[in-house]
Structure 1
Amino acid sequence: MLAALGASLAALAIPRVLERVVNGPLAAGAREHDTGALAGAVALVAGLGLLEAAFILARRSFVMLPGTHVEARMRVALYRHLQDLPVAFHDRWAGGQLLSRSMSDLGLLRRWLVFGMPTLVVSATTIVVGVTILIVTGGVLGLVYLAGAVPVTILAFRFSRRYRAISRLSQDQSGDLATTVEESVHGIRVLKAFGRGRDALDAFTEQADRLRRTEMAKASTQSTVTAALTAIPELTLGVALVVGVLQAADGQISVGALVAFFATAAVVNTPVVDLGMTLSMTLNARTAVDRYFEVLDTENDLTDPDAPVDLREPRGDVALRGVTFRYDDAAEPVLRDVDLELPAGTTTALVGLTGSGKSTLAMLVPRLYDVTDGSVRLDDVDVRHLARTTLRTHVAVAFEDSTLFSASVRDNVLLGAPGDLDDAARDALLAEALDVAQAGFVHDLPDGVGTTIGEEGLSLSGGQRQRLALARAIAARPRVLVLDDPLSALDVATEEAIETRLRTVLAGTTTLVVAHRPSTVALADRVAVLQGGRITAVGTHADLLAHDAHYRHVISSLESDAAAHGIGQHDDEHEPGTGRTEDA
């Protein structure tokens, strides 16, 4: 900032030297020009010019490093906050909007910090100091120039209000466009399979055209104010020139003072003319900051307690007591007064018709959502009294919609593995997890477990992704394992082999399985029936078949679904030489 101010003041000092040169060594009628004084003045002007250049160089050098650091720190802070925010937040926000805030918005802010902010300071200082000099030294001419500031101020105020609204609209539309691209890339197989690529392109083109029209409105607004900010000072200078010439003819002002006035006005005019660009950059940055803090200021209502309970070696007893849960935008609760005991070391299958709340209940155990009422307890400790990292060290989850990351098979599987293991122990854990999950296909991949998986694992089949996701949950060595139908893409024989190995390797692990197939239910120690958001029965598969009519209806529905989708008819078939499987 000091370097920017120094450059501005050095530029404003040059006209003062020119005034002394014109009135002194170059004065009309002088018999002999003072060559020494003239040389000294030239040297002084050159020195001031070099000083201004040095300040500008210093300004750019000083601002680049901290500017990029600020951008990086803000980006990391946003990502950290996004990681900390609950799942409910991410349910509401589109990925493209978050992406545009973390990338393009912070890029706008960095450019303003590096260029816009110093320019704004230099411009403001130059205008204020320059106009003050013009008024003090130019008298009436200074007042004439000052009169032009009135329409400029009004114009800048109106421009700011209009441009800020357009800028916000433009950045929001950019976020929407990024969301569309993201969704299209993730759903490219669906678009191709249904031949809807042209429709997607038409919708994208319409969105892109809306953004183009908004950008054109921005450009039109900026060009209008730039034209006005160019014309008004030039017209003001034209009036001042006429008045100045008349004053000089009457001897009211010296020629040197007149030259200095217009030299100073030329210095002041440059930031005035650039004011439109500087204001637009500042308003873009302000909108970017507003959008950034719109996310960063979002409060996390799912936080760690001030004094978390230290639960290092839990037995694995899980209990849901009087649990009621309602999504933020829902009028009715999904779960009502749920009571369910999951004794340590047992496997409990959770069954119910579609929409009964099975997946929601499963997500309450690792506290991905907080209960609206009641409590979820681990070893009789309310999970809200545990640090989230501690809880999720003891509770691992495998979802039906398995998500993998753009990393190697090894990194994906060992994502939640204990961090205190040496390389040999991690390799042993990886091998065991892959074996339990029946994921031996990874050894046929080009680089084995070092093979990099494509974005979200889309280079693999659905069954392969599910087995790797299950291996990841197993490698976490949890005391409680929550399986939200993670084997839906597998045949019954593979599922049974996995369940058998799970019983051996995870002996003593409490398991909650959201079941969508009768074969899964039959492998559980106990079955809990969820009906209308309530647990209506708990017992063995045989007992419930004999005594619970709704359970028989649910099982018959599951059997019908399995038959309709051909589940369990074939084992995984391998494509020769590829290591790739296509699950039946």
Structure 2
Amino acid sequence: MTKSKFIMHYLLLNKFSYLLAIVCIFIVNYLQVEIPRYIQLAVDLLNQSTLESKAGLVENVEWVIALSVVMVVVRILSRMYALNPGRITEAALKNDVFHRLNRLPSTFHDKFASGKLISIINNDLNGIRLFYGIGFLQLFNILFALSLTPIWMWKISPELTLYSVIPIAIAAIIFRIGFRKLRALHAERLNRLQDLSEQLMNYLSGIDLIKNQQMGDWVTNEVNKVNRRLYDCTMQIAKIQTIYMPILDYANHFMKVLILGLGGYYLLQAKLTIGEITAFLSYSVLLALPLMHLGRIVTVYQMGMISIDSVQNILNNAVPSTDMLRMDDNEKSALRRSTLSVQNLSYGYPNAKDKQSQMVLKDLSFSIEPGEKVGVLGSIGAGKSTLVNCLNHHLSLDPGQIFWGDKDITQVSRQDWRSYVRTITQDPFLFSATISENVKFGAKRKNQDVDELDVAQVLELSQLQEDVQRFGARDQTLVGEKGIMLSGGQKQRLSIARALLTPSDLIIMDNVLSAVDYETERTILKGVFNRIQEQSLLVVSHRVSALEYMDKILVLEQGEIIARGTHAELLESSSYYRQTWELQQHESEASA
């Protein structure tokens, strides 16, 4: 979407409100230029003492009061109709941006840090709100004021009107110079805000490490550097606004002096009356207000244009075409309880310099039948997490490598694919909510009703129920930001409970039992087996004890499958598997 289409799209979102606002703004400006005309007539009648003049004076004053009251009411309406769309647009854009962020692939999020995205959503969308709100209001105020007011001034004195324009024209030329400088600085300021937001988010995420390693002074110094650049940029903007923006105000004051001087001269020459000079001065005030607002609207316009560029960096990023396709209920049902087939899967990360030598996965082939329990054993760096991210389509793959039944998963939208496959990671993300709400999160996503007995059951299966009972508020205990109130093992067990609550065809457990002891690990796995007897399970671990009851086990080393079979078969056929088993048995006995 181009910038012009973007602007029009969100303008049309509130077209009726904007149309009413334009009508109201026109009425306000028309009444503003009409009121001085009645003031002029009233002032000219002050020198007369006839009954007709007194009656005319009272009538003109009444008109001024009546029109002023109407103008106040219509002005309030104009602000309501013009400013509310800014808030509506901001809310709509936040929804659109978050919706797009939720659908963009991991390659996009690798390029844009979360801190920058948060800054765009907060700071840049605030600029767009002002653009569609106060910017729209002041734009039409200025347009109508600068078109209607000079016409009424011309009716009183064409010569005085022409003289009044001279200081305004000179000020406009000087103002344009400052306008050009401001645009680049506003763009730089928003970038500095994004840098500061990104850095603060990084340091706050690692605040415990910073304290433990006594890195406070270094972190403070780094933040000060970024903050200083933001400060310098903001000060440059302030200097330009201080020098160039008041030019229009100075021009307005000079215009008033000019009107009084020339007006007095024309009064002595009997070319103008006192009432006409009074009206002309009133019009000069009306002309001054939009000129004073011109500096603000220029700032709002620049911020809006720059903010739109930032937001378009998100909205214009293409969602993969397959993610735009959604299967209907019949297609989804047909693929239930299918076989997952991996055929010659190879993967290397796009940023690798030598793709061939940096292949993380090399020619993997295996299958997981419906209801089958499969284990993957591998040391650190063997490619286990990359395999998991390929299977759940977190990474972008070449077609023809992973199939669900006869369907290539690259031809299935990620949203549809995750209705079949659920992944439990070793670093689970928990929301700052209660234990119960974190367990129910997956069910809320599918709009399913969940019984509290179901929650208690999955907590029991994941060996977390005893811990929960020790908490003061039990399953209503708040876990804190990212689950800070829970230990590493409790977080992992809570993520298992969340995955077990709602059914799926394949559950992938990516080293999720690394933070629990061997006995708890066996108990959890037995509970999982009982819960998901008809569901497929893939357990990825570096512990043999987590895999010994699997239907088959794949041994992964440096991205290749070096052995496969049951636990008993691998103890006989694979020296790597046997040595790992014996080493971990000694560790388990020593720990006991």
TM-score by length of 1: 0.86
Q: Which of the numbers 197, 200, 207 marks the counterpart of 2:219? A: 200
- CA deviation string 1:179-215 (max 9, x = no partner): 3333333322222222223332332233333322222
Q: Is the 8 A contact 1:491 1:570 kept in 2?
A: no
**Structure 1 pair 304/264, CA: closer, same or farther in 2 (3 Å)?**
closer
**Structure 1 pair 570/161, CA: closer, same or farther in 2 (3 Å)?**
farther
Distance 2:41 2:274 in 1: 10
**Structure 1 pair 337/16, CA: closer, same or farther in 2 (3 Å)?**
farther
Distance 1:368 1:300 in 2: 14
Code of the residue aligned with 1:472 in structure 2: it is: R
**Structure 2 equivalent of residue 347 of structure 1:** 373
Distance 1:20 1:228 in 2: 34
Q: Is the 8 A contact 2:518 2:545 kept in 1?
A: yes
**Structure 1 equivalent of residue 540 of structure 2:** 514
Residues 27-426 of structure 1 aligned to structure 2 (within 5 Å): 34-63=53-82, 65-301=84-320, 303-305=323-325, 309-311=331-333, 314-331=336-353, 332=355, 333-417=359-443, 423=450, 426=451
Residues 543-554 of structure 1 aligned to structure 2 (within 5 Å): 543-544=569-570, 551=576
Distance 1:11 1:177 in 2: 46
**Structure 1 pair 80/567, CA: closer, same or farther in 2 (3 Å)?**
farther
Higher mean alpha-carbon deviation, 520-529 vs 341-350, is at 520-529
Code of the residue aligned with 1:77 in structure 2: it is: D
Distance 2:361 2:432 in 1: 35
Could you list the runs of 5+ residues in structure 1 that have no partner in the other structure? 572-584
**Structure 2 equivalent of residue 7 of structure 1:** 28
Distance 1:157 1:559 in 2: 79
Q: Is the 8 A contact 2:361 2:560 kept in 1?
A: yes
Residues 560-571 of structure 1 aligned to structure 2 (within 5 Å): 570=591
Distance 1:510 1:496 in 2: 18
* Total equivalences in the alignment: 562
Higher mean alpha-carbon deviation, 377-386 vs 403-412, is at 377-386
**Structure 2 equivalent of residue 484 of structure 1:** 510
1:431 equivalent in alignment to 2:431:
no
- CA deviation string 1:438-485 (max 9, x = no partner): 112112112111212111101111111011111112223222111111
**Structure 1 pair 468/569, CA: closer, same or farther in 2 (3 Å)?**
farther
Distance 1:312 1:361 in 2: 26
- CA deviation string 1:264-300 (max 9, x = no partner): 1121012212321222123223333332332223221
Q: Is the 8 A contact 1:517 1:559 kept in 2?
A: no
TM-score by length of 2: 0.85
Distance 1:125 1:516 in 2: 73
Q: Which of the numbers 16, 35, 45 marks the counterpart of 1:25? A: 45
Code of the residue aligned with 2:489 in structure 1: it is: G
Percent identity between the two aligned chains: 24
What secondary structure, in the 3-state scheme, does the structure 2 residue paired with 1:393 have? coil
Shift of 1:229: 1.5
**Structure 1 pair 154/567, CA: closer, same or farther in 2 (3 Å)?**
farther
Shift of 1:32: 8.1
Distance 1:218 1:228 in 2: 16
Code of the residue aligned with 1:399 in structure 2: it is: T
Distance 1:530 1:145 in 2: 84
Q: Is the 8 A contact 2:397 2:410 kept in 1?
A: no
1:463 equivalent in alignment to 2:489:
yes
Q: Which of the numbers 10, 20, 37 marks the counterpart of 1:16? A: 37
**Structure 1 pair 324/152, CA: closer, same or farther in 2 (3 Å)?**
farther
**Structure 1 pair 54/498, CA: closer, same or farther in 2 (3 Å)?**
same
Shift of 1:342: 2.1
**Structure 1 pair 484/120, CA: closer, same or farther in 2 (3 Å)?**
same
- CA deviation string 1:63-105 (max 9, x = no partner): 4554433332322222222222223323332222222233333
What RMSD over aligned residues (CA atoms) do the two structures have, in Å?
3.1
Higher mean alpha-carbon deviation, 197-206 vs 539-548, is at 539-548
**Structure 1 pair 25/119, CA: closer, same or farther in 2 (3 Å)?**
same
Could you list the runs of 5+ residues in structure 2 that have no partner in the other structure? 1-20
Code of the residue aligned with 1:43 in structure 2: it is: E
Distance 2:191 2:508 in 1: 38
What secondary structure, in the 3-state scheme, does the structure 2 residue paired with 1:58 have? helix
Code of the residue aligned with 1:41 in structure 2: it is: N
Higher mean alpha-carbon deviation, 323-332 vs 404-413, is at 323-332
Higher mean alpha-carbon deviation, 409-418 vs 530-539, is at 530-539
Shift of 1:316: 4.3
Distance 1:328 1:218 in 2: 41
Shift of 1:568: 8.5
Higher mean alpha-carbon deviation, 89-98 vs 321-330, is at 321-330
Q: Is the 8 A contact 2:374 2:539 kept in 1?
A: yes
Higher mean alpha-carbon deviation, 406-415 vs 464-473, is at 406-415
What secondary structure, in the 3-state scheme, does the structure 1 residue paired with 2:333 have? coil
Q: Is the 8 A contact 1:304 1:386 kept in 2?
A: no
Distance 1:384 1:530 in 2: 24
**Structure 1 pair 316/447, CA: closer, same or farther in 2 (3 Å)?**
farther
Q: Is the 8 A contact 1:304 1:387 kept in 2?
A: yes
**Structure 1 pair 421/18, CA: closer, same or farther in 2 (3 Å)?**
closer
Higher mean alpha-carbon deviation, 398-407 vs 302-311, is at 302-311
